[in-house]
Structures are given as C-alpha cells and as structure tokens.
C-alpha cells in the first residue's frame, strides 16, 4: 500500500504490475512491467532501480524483478531497516 501511495507501483493492463525505476532526484526514469505471461520494461525508459523502503536503511535486499522485491517485503512485513531493490533484469549497453 505504501508503494501505491508513493506512486511507484501501479496496476497496468491485463492485471499487470508496473514498478517505477526512480533516479536519485526522485524522478521516474522508467517502468518495469510484469504480467501473467510476460515481463518487460517500458519503451524509452531507463533502468535505474525500483526501490521501495526507507532511505538510509542499513539492510539492502537486491532482486532481479520488482515482483520479487515486493513479495519479500510482503513476506517480511516491510521492515523499517530495509531498502528493497530491483534491477529490472540486466542492463543493456
């Protein structure tokens, strides 16, 4: 709920999940997309990091996909000492 309220997590078409990759200034650089049968990244966007959690956290949990970061946060109860990160897969040159 906190990620939805912060507008870094949205529901897209066909029940998909969209996760915002946000730069150091807090601007959305791109959207990681995950649907029931597909995954991708919004055309024209830039992969930075999807990072729900608390800035200054001492514990970092790095995942490949936003759905994995959100699943871990849900399982753990969104720990206040943790920043949950997703790389959105690999970075292309």
- For 22-35, the pLDDT digits (tens) are 888 889 999 999 98
End-to-end CA distance of the chain: 34
Contact (CB, 8 A) for 17 and 66: yes
How many C-beta atoms surround the C-beta of residue 90 within 10 A? 7
Q: Per-domain residue ranges for the chain?
A: 2-86
Mean pLDDT along residues 38-62: 87
Q: Is the pTM of this model over 0.85?
A: no
């Amino acid at each position: 709920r906190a990620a939805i309220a912060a507008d870094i997590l949205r529901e897209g078409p066909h029940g998909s999940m969209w996760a915002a990759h946000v730069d150091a200034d807090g601007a959305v650089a791109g959207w990681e997309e995950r649907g029931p049968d597909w995954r991708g990244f919004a055309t024209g966007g830039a992969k930075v990091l999807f990072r729900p959690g608390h800035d200054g956290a001492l514990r970092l949990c790095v995942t490949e996909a936003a759905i994995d970061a959100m699943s871990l946060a849900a399982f753990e109860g969104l720990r206040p000492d943790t920043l949950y990160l997703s790389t959105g897969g690999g970075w292309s040159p």
